[in-house]
Homo-oligomer: A and B are copies of this chain.
Amino acid sequence: MKWDTLEEEPCSLARTVAVIGDRWSLLILRECFLRIRRFDDFQASLGITRHLLADRLKKLVRFGVLRKIPYQEAPKRYEYILTQKGLDLYPIIMSIVHWGNVHMVDARGRPLLHEHKTCGKMFDPVMVCSECGEPLSAKAVHVHPGPGARKSSPVHASARERAKRAAEST
């Protein structure tokens, strides 16, 4: 698969993976949420090569996740800040951090704790249904093809079934 076709796939996961699905992008975004904004700061705190960092920042700007804002003239310098589209990635970041907290911590415990300013308590993120407010689990969800689905091959048909249909239609 060519990765530049990924963003055109009829799948919201694939399109999002086109934006954040490489090893560095999520780490760069973590730094953004921790208030890192400048090239050399990203480079120093991540240890990413300057080449790759320049490339990834360019990509995130192209996708509208980050915006380049000048913070001084002469010489012109920019910093990278999250757009609303970028801020909307927060639930992704938080659910990734939470999974790591539950399944990947060592004996010393969590590297970070999160306080909810609204209620003042340390919390974990919980994913709930927008309609009834109940916590979500994979088994309680049923998937339907939407208006943007691929016509002839619903994503939830198994490859085996599709292969069979293809064979019959020849």
| Interface residue ranges, A against B (CB under 8 Å) | 1, 3, 6-7, 10-17, 19-23, 26-27, 30, 33-36, 38, 40-48, 64, 85, 87-106, 108-119, 121-134, 136-138, 140-150, 155-156, 158-160, 162-163
Contacts and interface: CB of A to CB of B under 8 A. Distances in A.
20 contacts: A6-B23, A10-B111, A11-B30, A12-B96, A13-B30, A13-B93, A38-B160, A40-B159, A43-B159, A87-B137, A95-B127, A109-B148, A110-B148, A116-B129, A116-B132, A116-B140, A117-B140, A117-B142, A118-B132, A119-B132
A110 B3 CA distance: 21
A108 to B, nearest CB: 4
B94 A127 contact: yes
- Say how many copies of this protein the assembly contains: 2
Contacts of A117: 140-142
A58 to B, nearest CB: 18
A132 B113 CA distance: 16
A98 to B, nearest CB: 7
Contact of A98 (B91, B106, B131): B91
A80 to B, nearest CB: 14
Contact of A136 (B16, B94, B121): B94
Q: Which 10 A-B pairs have the closest CB atoms?
A: A12-B100, A109-B147, A44-B159, A119-B132, A110-B146, A15-B104, A41-B159, A108-B148, A16-B100, A121-B131
A124 B128 contact: no
